[in-house]
Every structure is written in structure tokens, then in C-alpha cells.
Amino acid sequence: MSKFKKTVSRILKIAPNKISDSTSPLNVRSWDSFRGLLLITELEKAYGIKLSMEEVLTIKDIGSLKKILMKRKIDPDE
């Protein structure tokens, strides 16, 4: 399992097999504003990056978060 999925699963408290690009605060009860910020912070630590406020504001679901990582040459599926 990828570092990305492990982190998302741990922070949002959902099974890894339930994580898809469409996973979002609209369909995951535990994804509130606090967990959203915690998810960003933990991914920043895991990948040694710092997301800009502009990037953070574009995150609507797991797919949009993965796109941000891929723009930074990070493969979230590795």
C-alpha cells in the first residue's frame, strides 16, 4: 500500500479500499475541517513538501489532492 493511502486511511479513519479519487468531505463523515488540515499537514511531512494556500484551497477530493502531488513530481500511488 502506498504512503499516500496509508496516510489518508489513518487520518480519515477509513479502509484503504474505500479510498478513490472521488473520496471527499461530501462522502466521508470523518473528513471535517480539522481532519482536512491534519491530512494536509501529515502529507506535507510524509513527502517533505509545503503546500501553498492556493493549492490547499483547490483540494475538493482525493483526486484533486493527488493532482497537486503529481504536479510536484510525486507519485501518490507508489
47-68 tens-digit pLDDT: 999 999 999 999 999 999 999 9
For residues 5 and 78, give the distance between their C-alpha atoms in angstroms, rounded to a whole number.
10
17 DSSP 8-state letter: G
What is the model's pLDDT at position 49? 97
56 DSSP 8-state letter: H
CATH number given to 3-71? 1.10.1200.10
The answer to whether the CB of 62 falls within 8 A of the CB of 19 is yes
Percentage of the chain modeled with pLDDT above 70: 100
- What is the pTM assigned to this prediction? 0.93
4-23 tens-digit pLDDT: 999 999 999 999 999 999 99
